[in-house]
Amino acid sequence: MASTVPAERDLRRVIGDGDAIPDGEVDGLGEQELLALYRSMVLLRTYDERSVVYHRQGRIGTYAIFWGHEAVQAGAFHALDDEDWIFPSYRESAIGLLRGLPAATILSWWRGHPSGWWSPADYNVASICVPIATQVPHAAGLAWGKRLRGESACALTFFGDGATSEGAFHEGANFAAVMRAPLVLLCNNNQWAISTPLSAQTKAEALVDKAAGYGIPGTRVDGGDVLAVYEATREAVARGRAGEGPSFIEAVTYRSAPHATADDPKAYIDLERVEQERANECLGRYEGYLRRLGVLGDELEQEIKTEAADLMRAGIAAAEAEPPADVGLVFEHALADPPASFEHDLAELRRILGG
Ligand SMILES: Cc1ncc(C[n+]2csc(CCOP(=O)(O)OP(=O)(O)O)c2C)c(N)n1
Ligand SMILES: [Mg+2]
């Protein structure tokens, strides 16, 4: 008889507060690895902050902000090997940067330009999914395929608290469990699905409890603690590689930025809580940890931040240097057998746009 261990409910933490709560450490992480994690967090933070500015300047379209979620993304990423696949939602749009995907490509995606597409197999990073939870069955399928082929690679998929109410989440999680697919289900519980709070989303006491329903182990971590996310993901990946199937990680965060640039959360969010969360944000927490350890100083911090800012400057310049896409693309690849009206519609569009 299969039996499922109840999910680990306590929030796992490694980083202390520099005061009463002592710092922990993660086995196997030396100075170089700790700094690699830091560089990734800075890169993501810089990408995110610059993107909000580019949006305000009209240089990219609507953008889903991930400020404060860098620890979830970087922590999970560093627990993977290059052969492992990542299935992001719009909230992790820039995760490919960490695998060497050019910033210009991701910025072009947000500009609605065809040069914003990449071949997933070049980076083992799947396309960004906007329909909620649809990436979960994609990831389950890929992970199962890896197992069938006897390969050691795993898949990791990111999704939100709201996504756990979707059929696609259920199907993906159930399928992965039954097929013992090497999949990490990483839920970023930022406690909001646009304006819907977690309390209106689920009657479950904790999202991690859902794991038991699929017969898979679940862990709950402080999503603002990059080392806790890293450690939990590393264990989940090891389980996958050992043929033990999927794992569920609930990373508890709080969305302290608008859902996206098109959202004004003042109408529904608790502003005091947002202030508290922003004061305790994940990059600052990790900087404090590294400084206490003597691994990070002013000069190195500045060097890493300047490098990231330069990369973004070059990225937006390259994205803007792309010639505009031909409007005919709107009609191409839509239907194998396009109706005759398309020709007329395209001619009309060209006439209006003067192209
Ligand atoms: C299938 C589907 N339904 C509805 C939407 C509209 N929508 C966009 S974001 C969002 C909230 C999702 O919340 P959550 O899963 O918690 O992710 P978060 O945005 O917090 O990262 C919704 C409902 C969508 N994109 N796809
Ligand atoms: Mg959410």
Per-residue tens of pLDDT for the chain, all 355 residues? 445 566 677 899 999 999 999 999 999 999 999 999 999 999 999 999 999 999 999 999 999 999 999 999 999 999 999 999 999 999 999 999 999 999 999 999 999 999 999 999 999 999 999 999 999 999 999 999 999 999 999 999 999 999 999 999 999 999 999 999 999 999 999 999 999 999 999 999 999 999 999 999 999 999 999 999 999 999 999 999 999 999 999 999 999 999 999 999 999 999 999 999 999 999 999 999 999 999 999 999 999 999 999 999 999 999 999 999 999 998 988 899 999 999 999 999 999 987 5
339 vs 168: CA distance, rounded Å: 32
Asked if residue 207 has its Cβ within 6 Å of ligand 1, the reply is no
CA of 103 to the centre of ligand 2 (A): 25
CA of 48 to the centre of ligand 1 (A): 19
For residue 260, give the ligand nearest its CA: 1
Q: Which of 308, 287, 309, 289 is nearest to 298 (CA)?
A: 287
Claim: this prediction has a pTM higher than 0.75: yes
pLDDT of 1: 42
The amino acid occupying position 210 is K
CA of 92 to the centre of ligand 2 (A): 12
> 157: part of which helix (H) or strand (E)?
strand 155-160
Check if the beta carbon of residue 103 is closer than 8 Å to that of residue 320. no
Asked if residue 34 has its Cβ within 6 Å of ligand 1, the reply is no
Check if the beta carbon of residue 245 is closer than 8 Å to that of residue 216. yes
Q: Given ligand 1 and candidates 73, 90, 132, which is best to mutate, with the most ligand atoms within 8 Å of its CB? A: 132
Q: What does the block give as tokens for 286?
A: 């990790």
Atom of ligand 1 nearest to the CA of 64: 19
For residue 131, give the ligand nearest its CA: 1
Alpha carbon 154 to its chain centroid, in Å, reads: 16
Q: Quick one: residue 222, left, alpha or beta (phi over 0 = left, psi -120 to 50 = alpha)?
A: beta
Atom of ligand 1 nearest to the CA of 164: 15
User: How big is the CA angle at 73 (ends 210 and 79), to the nearest 5 degrees?
Assistant: 85
> 247: part of which helix (H) or strand (E)?
strand 247-252
Q: Hey, whose CA ends up nearest to atom 18 of ligand 1? A: 160
Asked if residue 262 has its Cβ within 6 Å of ligand 1, the reply is no
Q: Hey, whose CA ends up nearest to atom 21 of ligand 1? A: 160
Asked if residue 69 has its Cβ within 6 Å of ligand 1, the reply is no
CA of 194 to the centre of ligand 1 (A): 7
Strand order in the sheet with 183-189: 85-87, 155-160, 183-189, 247-252, 218-222
Q: How many CA atoms lie within 13 A of 154 on its CB side?
A: 28
CA of 62 to the centre of ligand 1 (A): 14
Asked if residue 130 has its Cβ within 6 Å of ligand 1, the reply is yes
351 vs 74: CA distance, rounded Å: 47
Q: Hey, whose CA ends up nearest to atom 11 of ligand 1? A: 193
Catalytic positions, written as ranges: 255, 259, 268
